[in-house]
A and B are shown apart, each in its own frame.
Chain A
C-alpha cells in the first residue's frame, strides 16, 4: 500500500521568502497547541512547530516504505547533517556531538562511563534536577566498593551570581580539605598536573553543574564554575538541559567544559526525544561505551579495531532500534527558527517578555519575583565585563520564577508537611490544567511556593495576566480547602517587596 499522500496543511509548511507573522499570539497558528490553552510551560516538554512535526511524521512514513533502505543507506548522512548543524550552533566539532533521547540519558552516559574508585567524589547540588540527583545517589549507593562518595552543595535562592560562585569554590576546597588523606590526582586534561599514564592517577572529583537549574529556573554562572573546576582539577559535567535555544552565544570550544548536555526538544523546537551530548576530543577516552552498548563498541581486549577520533560518534550512531526521527529533523527545527529571525531575535523577544510578564504576574499575585536582583544580574554582566568570557555576553533567561500567594514557612514543617506539599502540587496541577486550561510549573522551595513561567514566541503579556487570575483563585481554594484558613477579603495580601517592582 503506498504510504498516505501527506500533503502539509496550511500551517504545517512555511514560505521562507515571506515574512513570518509577528511574535505573540499570531504565531500560535504554527504551533500544535490548543487554541485556548495558555501554555507558559514550554520549559518542561517543549513545543515543536507544526512544520517540524509534519517533517517528522512524513519521515516516519517514508521509513516504512523500505525499512532496510533507510536504516542501512539513508540514515547515516541525515544524522551527520543534523549533528553538524548542532555542532556549529555550540562551537564544537561535529564528531564531538552525538544525539541521545534526553538529557537524563546523556547525563547517565557520562556518569556511568566513569570508572569509579573508592575515594572518588561525585558532587551535585540541592537545586539539580532530581533524576540527576538520583543518578548520583544510585552510583554512590552501590552495595560494595568500588563507588564514589556523593555530596550535594546547597543553594537557597535568591542568590546572586557572585554568591553562587563563592559558595561553589569554597565547597570544592572544603571537600578536598575534608578528604586530605586522598590524592585527587586524576584531574581533567586541561588542569594543572594532568598526566596521561593511568597508573599515576588515584582519585578524582566529578561535579555536575546546572547551566540553568530546573526549579527554580535560574541561570547559574556555569561558565565561571567550569573555569573554577579547571583551576581546582575537578571534572565538570554541565547539565545544560535548558540551554540550547535559550542561552545565546554558547561556544563550547572557548568555555571548555569536560562534558556538556542539553535537550533540543525543550527550547530548540525539536521533536521530543532529542538531546545532545558533547564530549571534547580530549575526553573521548572516558566514554568507553554508549548507553546501551551498541554494535560499534571497541573492546580493548580484542585489539582488531582501535579507537580514533570518530569512535565516540560511531558508538552513538545506533544504540538499538528506536524512532530516530527526532534526531534527523533537527535541521527542520533550525530552519524554522531561522525563518523567525534566528536565535538572537527569538531570545530577545522571549527574554523581554519573561522579565515584564514576571513582573506583571507578581503584581497581580501580590507577591514577588525570585530574581529580585534580575536588574542587578544583567547590569552586573554589562557593568563588569571582565568577569565574563566575552564583553558582549548577555545572559538571557526565558523563564521567570514568581512567588505564589500562599503562606511562607520559616522552619521546615511549620506549615507544610510532605503530604501537604504533595496535595497542593496535585491540586495546582489539576485545577490549572482542567479548570483553567493554563499551565506553568509550580514547586516548593525554601519554605515558599513558586511558579516558573517559561516564555515562547507565541506568548504575550495577556497570558501572564490570565495565569495570574487563575493562580489567585486556585490559591484561595488551596488556603481554604487544604490549609483550612479563612481567607481575608483583601487576599492576596500585598508584600513589601513590591517596592522593587
Chain B
C-alpha cells in the first residue's frame, strides 16, 4: 500500500531561510500544546516541537515500507550521525556516547554493570530522583552478599553552592572514616593510587547536575573534582542538563559517567537519552541493558580486539521504535533555526528568574533560589501553604498525599495549567520550567491558580 500522504500541516514545517517568530507565545504555533493550556512543566516530560514530531511520524511510516531494509541497512548510519551530534554538544568523543531510552535506563546500565563487593558503598542524596534512589536501594537490598551498602547524603534547600560542596566533601570523608578498616582501593583511573584489576572496595557516588525537586543546579563539576581527589567514582545524573545547561564540556570536567535525557530540554522525541562513558571506564560497562548481539565475553579472542565493545553493544538492544534516537537530528536543526543553544537558554534562563520572581509576588511568598546560583531554566517558588518546622507538625502522611493529588487535579482539570509541585523540608513548593513558548504572563496565571487552590486546601484538607 502506498504510504498515506503525510503532508505536514501548519507548524509542522518551517523555512530555515526565514527568521523564526520571537520567543514567547508566538512560538506556540510550533508546538503541539493546546492553545489555552499553560505549560510550565517542560521539565518532566519535555515538549517536542511539531516539526520534530512530524518528522518522527513520517519516519515511522517510512520504516514500515521495508522494515528489513531500515533495520539492517538504513538505520545505523543515521544513528551514528545522531550520536556524533550529541557528542559535539557535550564535548565528548562520539565513541564515548551511546543512546538509550531514558536517563533511568542509563543509570541502571552503569550501576548494574559495576561488580559489587561486600563493603562497597553506593552513595546517593536525599534529593536523588525517586527511581534512581530505588535503583540504589534495590542493589543494596540483595538478600545475600555481595552487595553494596547504600547511603544518602542529605541536602535541604535552600543551600548555596559553597554549602553543597562543603557538605558533600565532609560527608564523604566522614563516611570513609566511619569505615576506616575497609580499604577503598578500587579508585577510578584518574584518582591517585589507581591500579587496574584492584580487588579492594569502591565508593560510587550518584550526583545530580540539576536536581528534579527542587529544580536546582548543583556545583557538579566541583563535586566531580572532589570525587576524583577522594578516590570516589562519579556518576552524574544530568537528566535535565542537555539543552538546558550550556557549555557542557565532559572532556574537561571528566566525570566517570554522565547521562542526560534528550527528550527533556533538547526537543527530541520521547524515549531518547545519552549515556557518556569515557574510554578509560568502558571496561566497566560489560553489557548493555538488555544484553545484545554484540556482547563480548571477557577473556575471549574478540575481547582482545574489541574490549567491552561499548558502542556496538548499544547500537541495537532489542526491537524498539528507533525514531526517538533519530529525532535528535531534527531537534538540533530546529534549535539552530531558533538561534542555537545560547539564544534559547538566554531567553529561558532570564524568564525563569523573572517569572519566578513575579510568581512569588502574586502568591506573596518567595523564590527558593536566594543567590541565583541554583537556577538554570527552572524556578522553585514557595506555595502559600503552612510551613512546618518538624516532620508531622502540620502535615500527616495522608494529608501530603491528598494535597499532591488535589493540586494536580485542580491545576489540570480546572485551571488548564501545570507546574510540578512537591513537599520539601517542611514546605510546599512549585517548580516552573521556562521554555521558548512561555512568557511572564504564564507565571502570573499560575500564581492566580495556586492562590485559589491553596485557599481551598487550607479550607478543606487542613
A: which residues have CB within 8 A of B?
A: 1-5, 8-9, 11-12, 28-35, 37, 39, 41, 44-48, 50, 53-54, 56-57, 60-61, 64-69, 71-73, 101-105, 107-108, 112, 115, 117, 130-131, 134-135, 137-138, 141-146, 198, 263, 265, 271-273, 288-289, 291-295, 297, 299-302, 319-323, 326, 429-430, 433, 437, 439
Contact = CB atoms under 8 A, between A and B. Distances in A.
A378 B143 CA distance: 47
25 contacts: A1-B29, A1-B30, A1-B32, A4-B8, A32-B65, A33-B64, A33-B65, A53-B60, A54-B4, A60-B53, A64-B32, A64-B53, A66-B412, A102-B320, A105-B318, A138-B291, A292-B107, A293-B104, A299-B137, A301-B141, A321-B261, A323-B269, A429-B72, A430-B73, A433-B66
Given A44-B67, A138-B291, A265 B319 contact: yes
A191 B454 CA distance: 57
B461 interface: no
Given A61-B53, A103-B318, A320-B102, A135 B291 contact: yes
Contact of B45 (A46, A101, A321): A321
B176 interface: no
B460 interface: no
Contacts of A44: 67-68, 71
Given A32-B1, A323-B271, A47 B67 contact: yes
A363 B57 CA distance: 42
A245 to B, nearest CB: 15
Interface size class of B (residues with CB under 8 A): 35 or more
A434 to B, nearest CB: 8
B12 interface: yes
A71 B412 CA distance: 12
Interface string B246-286: 00000000000000010100000111000000000000001
Would you list the 8 A-B pairs with minimal beta carbon distance, nearest first?
A292-B108, A64-B32, A32-B64, A108-B290, A102-B318, A320-B102, A320-B104, A134-B295
A469 B92 CA distance: 49
Contacts of A292: 104-105, 107-108, 131, 135, 289
A12 to B, nearest CB: 6
Nearest to B31: A1
Contact of A146 (B73, B146, B287, B320): B146
A135 B65 contact: no
Contacts of A34: 65-66
Contact of B418 (A8, A37, A68): A68
A295 B138 contact: no
Given A102-B319, A299-B141, A41 B68 contact: yes
A54 B1 CA distance: 14
A293 B32 contact: no
Given A1-B32, A41-B67, 16 more contacts: A1-B10, A28-B1, A30-B1, A48-B64, A56-B60, A57-B60, A72-B408, A101-B319, A103-B318, A104-B291, A135-B287, A144-B117, A289-B138, A294-B104, A430-B73, A433-B68
Interface string B4-32: 11001111100000000000000011111
B142 A115 contact: yes
Interface stretch (B33-41, B163-171, B331-339): B33-41
B187 to A, nearest CB: 18
Contacts of B108: 291-293
B103 interface: yes
